[in-house]
Structure 1
Amino acid sequence: MTSLDRRSVLRAAASAAGAGALVAGCAPDRAKDPGAARAARGPGPSGAGRHPPAPAARRPTRVPGQGAQIEHGPRDGRAVALTFHGAGDPRLATALLGEAERAGAKVTVLAVGDWLDEQPAMARRILDGGHELGNHTMHHRAICALPAAEAYAEIVRCAERLRTLTGTIGSWFRPSQTRRATDLVTSLARKAGYPHVLSYDVDSLDANDPGAPAVRRTVLDSVGPGSVVSLHLGHAGTVAALPPILDGLRRRGLRAVTTTELVT
């Protein structure tokens, strides 16, 4: 992205953030449910198979001594993990990753499988930036309300997309439309190859599009050493909020790292 393109994207992000613009996110009442027909469909013409593999992602992270669900890292360190639910406009996602990289920050993206079908190049972009990639289900349905077979398919189909694009099923699994997984979903994730479910202890509430200043305040008022922060790609307010969030972390002596680096 050229400097002119970047300025244009950020100007649009700031304008949309100030207006509380609605972009597709992870809020339960906004999640899409494409139904059985789409659930049965494989990658389309722009799907994973038409693109060369990205650099190999990390395999699923295993943290000895940690429980089945991880909400935060060590409280005695100086690191935090900014984790992003992966969906939405790839221009906003690319702008956000660029802002993180300019600040020397690394993030974790939990990608929705049908977003990867539509935007397969984003897997390469995330990994090439030194970031971490994981699984946020195939269609972003309310996974804890699904029958076991359907919930498992949501996990496994996204894992297959990640494997095709990156060589592994990704570092983490995060359930869709919930902060914490049920015991059933946790066991299904383990069966699919993920030792832990990734939760979080700070919710930025950015999926509600409150505007960049509100996102910044919500994060910085709650974050501390070891925090795992939930944010979203595809929201203009989040792009505009990221630089001041990173500056606020720096002023407190905190740095943004991948979730694997935080907890291992």
Structure 2
Amino acid sequence: MTSPDRRSVLRAAAAVATGATATACTRGGADLAAARAAAPTTPRPASPRPAHAARPPTRAPGLPAQIAHGPRRGDAVALTFHGQGDPKTATALLHEAERAGARLTVLAVGTWLDEQPAMARRILDGGHELGNHTLHHRTICALPEDEAYAEITGCADRLRSLTGTIGSWFRPSRTQYATDRVVRLARRAGYPHVLSYDLDSLDADDPGAPAVQRTVLDGVRPGSVVSLHLGHPGTVAALPPILDGLHRRGLRAVTTTELVT
């Protein structure tokens, strides 16, 4: 039997041991919490901006093989851009459009895509649509058939390799309207329609932003398809007042596909 004095000593020792253990656990927990608080936090990676898919060639049943404008009774117009030139100027123009909630159609020249492949994704990620404006921007209606076809398919190949499709539209180079032969060649290459336009902004002549603005706003109508160019600073400067003018008339700038389908 253990004497009362010995039991008291044992109880006291156990109490001391238990207290020391509890203190150690508390201190250890506090140290761990402090260490966690002091440790650098690795920021969670930002979610990537969702990429917009490239559209396949647009089919608009009931519309002609060559389209120059959309419905005249609607509230939309299509601003279409020759895709070539300084990428900084092009990016500035896309930014102005996006800031105003406008969506554009860019018809890219194949050699420009060779030089500036990142522009294809930049255009699509802005919610715009991308199409084919021939490989070298030659006078396509004057070319022999095999060379004209190579101009169409050469750009189509670039678009397919960069985006997965041959683009929404084909627009002939150095002409407002394609000949019947070029329309047929475009169809053979996979484009149901050739995209023309009914309003030329004349911005390629660099007349200055106010002149571009006047030309567009004086001539635009519901359903208009307007021809403009990416690589001209005057066009970048003209775009905000053009979009403001359209808004005041109750018109929206949409992709050509949205306009006609």
Fold in common (TM above 0.5)? yes
Counterparts of residues 89-168 of structure 1 (less than 5 Å): 89-168=86-165
TM-score by length of 2: 0.80
Offset of residue 55 of structure 1: 5.0
Question: Within the alignment, does 1:229 sit opposite 2:219 as a pair?
Answer: no
Deviations 1:25-60 (A, max 9, x none): xxxxxxxxxxxxxxxxxxxxxxxxxxxxx7531000
- For 2:127 and 2:114, the matched residues in 1 are separated by 21
RMSD: 0.7
1:20 maps to which residue?
none
Over 3 Å off, 4+ runs: none
Offset of residue 104 of structure 1: 0.3
Q: Is the 8 A contact 2:66 2:195 kept in 1?
A: yes
Question: Within the alignment, does 1:187 sit opposite 2:207 as a pair?
Answer: no
- For 1:254 and 1:136, the matched residues in 2 are separated by 26
- For 2:221 and 2:53, the matched residues in 1 are separated by 31
1:62 maps to which residue?
59
2:195 maps to which residue?
198
1:37 maps to which residue?
none
Task: List gaps (5 residues or longer) in structure 2.
Answer: 1-50
- For 1:89 and 1:180, the matched residues in 2 are separated by 26
- For 1:222 and 1:69, the matched residues in 2 are separated by 21
Q: Percent identity?
A: 82
2:48 maps to which residue?
none
Q: Is the 8 A contact 2:76 2:259 kept in 1?
A: yes
- For 2:92 and 2:81, the matched residues in 1 are separated by 13
- For 2:182 and 2:82, the matched residues in 1 are separated by 18
Q: Match of 1:124, as an amino acid?
A: R
TM-score by length of 1: 0.79
Task: Tell which has more relative contact order, 1 or 2 (C-alpha 8 A, sep 6+).
Answer: 1
Q: Is the 8 A contact 1:86 1:109 kept in 2?
A: yes
Question: Within the alignment, does 1:245 sit opposite 2:242 as a pair?
Answer: yes
Task: List gaps (5 residues or longer) in structure 1.
Answer: 1-53
1:80 maps to which residue?
77
2:29 maps to which residue?
none
